[in-house]
Amino acid sequence: MKIYVDLVLFLNFALDFILLLCVSIILKRRSSLRRIFLGALIGSLTILVLFIPFTTFILFITKILLSILIVSVTFGIKDIKYVLTNMFYFYITSIILGGFLYYLNIELSYKNLGMVFYHKGMGVNYIFVLIFSPIILYVYTKEMKKLKEKNSLNYKVDIYVDKEIIRLNGFMDTGNTLVEPYKHRKVVIVNSKEIEKHINEKNFLLVPYESIGEKGMIKCIRVDKIFIEGIGIKRDVVIGLSKDKIKKNGIQCILNYLLMEE
């Protein structure tokens, strides 16, 4: 079997360029296309290391050092954590792409020799990889951004009431700015089924609310305090009991956005 080194270098460069561009988008790194191009160029030349008769351990260390060099050239060096984060996402993205290509290779009955996939000649394999790699990483990047945005508003919440701790998953909703008019405490909405076993029915108050086309009163209970992971302890809070199930998957309470402003 013939291996065309120039084609291998070109494919490796193209994939490294796509990977580094993907990492730059996910982590919102302000890296120019010139630096991404240079990083991909260094990455493509590292394929030549495979032709050097290193031991397995030395080859592993060499690959790690070369990866550090690639992300450092592309994104710069601020501190160790910054470099390690860039390297981690570079490897994760590579694994995602490699996994999808391997899966498609099996599904489409591609033949393979080691890590080189081919079907009726190397030319078709190169075209296949170059077409599908950007599509795969585009979908992956888009979903990663959606996941990060979603998780950035999710919090673990501990509610302290009558010497008990109720642990819930909360969502910070910008639409919830309800404040009870008596002591101006913020209202956190919880599904009544999540908390009814732990509350004292006598320790409640009614708070008026108004939404689009709807007015009413919501039953609220007084609590000692709540702890929101990443935000801290809040005492000026009451818990509004909702009979409607919260529609967001895995979410058990809707946090008050005014808690963020504090």
* pLDDT mean by block of 10 residues, the chain; 262 residues: 64 85 83 89 80 79 87 89 89 83 62 53 57 79 72 82 85 86 89 76 80 82 88 89 77 86 64
In the chain, domain spans: 5-151, 154-261
Pairing of strands 225-228, 154-161: antiparallel
CB burial of 127-145 (b: ≥16 within 10 Å; e: otherwise) equals: ebbeeebeebbeebbeebe
pLDDT value of residue 121: 46
> What topology is assigned to 154-261 in CATH?
Cathepsin D, subunit A; domain 1 (2.40.70)
pLDDT value of residue 1: 47
pLDDT value of residue 210: 81
pLDDT value of residue 216: 86
Give the pTM.
0.55
Under the phi-then-psi rule, with left for phi > 0, alpha for psi from -120 to 50, and beta for the rest, what region is 12?
alpha
pLDDT value of residue 141: 78
